[in-house]
Structure 1
Amino acid sequence: MPNIDEIKKPIAAEIDVFEEKFKTSMRSSVPLLDRITHYIVKRKGKQIRPMFVFFSASIAGGINESTHRGAALVELLHTATLVHDDVVDNSYQRRGFFSINALWKNKIAVLVGDYLLSKGLLLSIDNGDFALLKIVSEAVKQMSEGELLQVEKVRRMDIGESVYYEVIRQKTASLIAACCACGAASAGASDEVVEKMRQFGEHIGIAFQIKDDMFDFGTDDVGKPLGIDIKEKKVTLPLIYALANSTPAERKQMIGQVKNHNDDPKKIADIITFVKQKGGLEYAEIQMKKYQEMAFAILDTFPAGPSRTGLEQLVRYTTERSK
């Protein structure tokens, strides 16, 4: 599988320009705020979401200034949600670095998130990108609903496959769907093509989250510590399948361990073993590949070329990664 730099090559120049514009879009005349946003920019990830925006625009008509603003809008709103999530989750690390709330406390972190949100809104309004703003705003709404749905279901330990898919569709897939729809819309594509790209992104997002959830039960060399979801009482697809294919006594015992002993390393190890023995990981892998293939089926309706190849490689990178 190509690495991220090889995948990025067809749009590398656009990404370089985007990164400079993104830095500019975050600037503030308030010294503290400028220092914090500089810290955020320095620790940005692999730019997967902007890459989806640019490749989607390229395959749907071509990259332009609106595409750059769409990518910045996605990143601003996404970064705002991450800053707020770290406050909600009492998380003090983000990608191996201190989170904003760890360094500057919760009050400032919430205000920084609000600032990033407002910058994204103004960027779109000032340039008349109302279609892009609608797409991304809908995604942020769904992300909030997905988080609250998960909180409600975790409290009651009431999660089956249908609820699981609804949670990850809203929490994770909605944003990747918005990236692909934004890219297509910025290129002036028809409503039909924009919707097709939105569905494409949604399938990728679901496959991505299933893969991520599998890491919780896998080996400990994937960059995500084992059992984190269990500690947070999150019931994900591998465990849902294992519980559905267990005896009533086994089910009762395992649910009890997740609810009441989720901070006991031995109990967590027992749950992981149970999931593996019941075939939960194999089942999740099959479902992940199903959504991946659905994404490829949509991609195959577009003409062959560098943009389609780039998107295909990006899909494989996000859904077949080992960490």
Structure 2
Amino acid sequence: MSANPSSPQLAAATPASPIHAVVAEDFAAVNRTILAQLASRVPLVETIGQYIIESGGKRLRPLLVLLAARSLGYEGDRHVTLATLIEFMHTSTLLHDDVVDESHMRRGKATANDAWGNAPSVLVGDFLYSRSFQMMVEVGSMRIMEVLSAATCTIAEGEVQQLTNVGNPDVDEAAYFETIQGKTAMLFEAASHSGAIIAGATPEQEAALRDYGRYLGLAFQLIDDLLDYQGDAQAMGKNVGDDLAEGKPTLPLIQAMAAGTPEQAKVIRQAIRQGGLERLDEVLTIVDDTGALDYTRAKAEEMSAKALARLDALPESPYRDNMAELARLAVERRN
């Protein structure tokens, strides 16, 4: 599969929403850059890279780069390269995560590791990750390199921490938040933070956009974890209970154990240790009866409110309005 700047598949994969429309021209440029940067002398690299990038998704992380930069009046074009490399970093983690989690479905399609095997998926993930660092050099900002290189370490630590938490029912809420801050919120934070840097933000604006991305990422992951026990499998593109099947102690389970009876806590502890879905119906009943889902949603709404508050440091603009709407949508979504 050769890189083609006019790829209809990639154009179709770009989300169509008012939030994306305000930076539509920038997104078109990001798509062209994605395809150009996927070019490789090894055809399988392009095939797998293009497959996962075209698999859909909200493209939130590159969107954050574009909105953050534009909200501060940036008029150059380096934000396009920056948004592209952030998307490549994210895509590489998806390829690696699906191998680690032994996943077979993502966004309603077979995962790359299911279609091509683990080894090609890991190696193409490595290629995308390496390409992102080439683009980082092209952006030419030492500050951005510092932010993104530190973020990659934190993300990797978060992934390892999540792996060590699997099957452990003793993970508490503080440890859970530390994990999702690393594995999910960090790249959101790096996206909005680097967008601010490239636009020449004031220290106050830079800190505000950094925090905005962090809180948005936390809200996003909290709702993801809630939907694993409340969502619609067809809408999500994955099965309800996938986290339980993998033995992941997410906040709905942590809170259910804290708020439930000793017997209810025992059921969940056993389900986390064992993994699988044998006790899914029991667990679904417990997380509902204990109010654990409402608790998780309230935490997500708290993070969303914090993200919204940080936008007060920015000048009024359609870009700031869209970032505010994005924070609201993060907790209203159903997939």
Whether the TM-score (by the shorter chain) exceeds 0.5 is: yes
The aligned runs of 1:165-180 (5 Å cut-off) are: 165-180=177-192
Structure 1 CA distance for aligned equivalents of residues 268 and 89 of structure 2 = 38
Answer yes or no: is the 8 Å Cα contact 1:66–1:129 preserved in 2: no
1:95 to 103, 107, 123: 107
Aligned-pair identity (%): 34
More displaced 10-residue stretch of structure 1: 292-301 or 237-246: 237-246
Alignment match of 1:208 (pick from 213, 217, 220) = 220
Closer/same/farther in 2, CA of residues 268 and 305 from structure 1, 3 Å limit: same
Q: Which residue of the partner structure matches residue 40 of structure 1?
A: 52
Report deviation, 1:32: 2.9
Counterpart of 1:239 in structure 2 is 253
The structural deviation recorded for 1:44 is 4.3
CA distance in 2, matches of 1:106, 1:197: 36
Which amino acid counterpart does residue 212 of structure 1 have in structure 2? D
1: CA distance between counterparts of 2:64 and 2:163? 29
Relative distance call for 1:261 and 1:39 in structure 2 (3 A) is: closer
- Cα separation, partners in 2 of 1:104 and 1:255, compared to 1, 3 Å: same
Amino acid at match of 1:316: R
Q: Which amino acid aligns with 2:277?
A: D
Question: Match for residue 264 of structure 2?
Answer: 250
Contact 1:181 1:195 in 2 (8 A): yes
Counterpart of 1:128 in structure 2 is 140
Measure the CA separation in 1 of the matches of 2:287 and 2:213.
29
- Structure 1 position 111 matched with structure 2 position 105: no
How far did 1:153 drift? 2.6
Give the conservation status (yes or no) of the 8 Å contact 1:238–1:281. yes
TM-score (norm 1): 0.92
- The AA in structure 1 aligned to 2:226 is M
Q: What is the alpha-carbon distance in structure 1 between the residues aligned to residue 39 and residue 180 of structure 2?
A: 33
Aligned residue runs from structure 1 range 1-323, under 5 A: 4-220=16-232, 222-223=235-236, 224-260=238-274, 262-264=276-278, 267-323=279-335
CA distance in 2, matches of 1:43, 1:239: 30
Secondary structure of the structure 1 residue equivalent to 2:171 = coil
TM-fit CA distance, 1:14:
1.0
Q: Structure 1 residue 132: deviation in Å?
A: 2.1
Q: Does the aligned pair in 1 maintain the 2:212–2:307 contact within 8 Å? A: yes
User: 1:231: Cα distance to partner?
Assistant: 1.0
Unaligned segments of structure 1, at least 5 residues = none
Alpha-carbon distance in structure 2 between the residues aligned to 1:259 and 1:84: 24
Larger mean CA deviation between 110-119 and 271-280 belongs to 110-119
Cα-to-partner distance string for 1:200-258 (whole Å, 9 max, x where unaligned): 10001111111111112214354242211111111111221121122333322331233
C-alpha spacing 1:257/1:88, structure 2 compared with 1 (3 Å): closer
> Is the partner of 1:296 in helix, strand or coil?
helix
Residue identity in the other structure for 1:102: D
Structure 1 stretches of at least 4 aligned residues deviating more than 6 Å after TM superposition: none
Q: Distance in 2 between matches of 1:270 and 1:155?
A: 18
State whether residues 61 and 188 of structure 1, in contact with CA within 8 Å, keep that contact through their aligned partners in structure 2.
Answer: no
How many corresponding residue pairs?
319
Q: Find the residue that maps to 2:286 and give its secondary structure.
A: helix
DSSP 3-state at the match of 1:303: coil
Structure 1: distance between partners of 2:119 and 2:134:
23
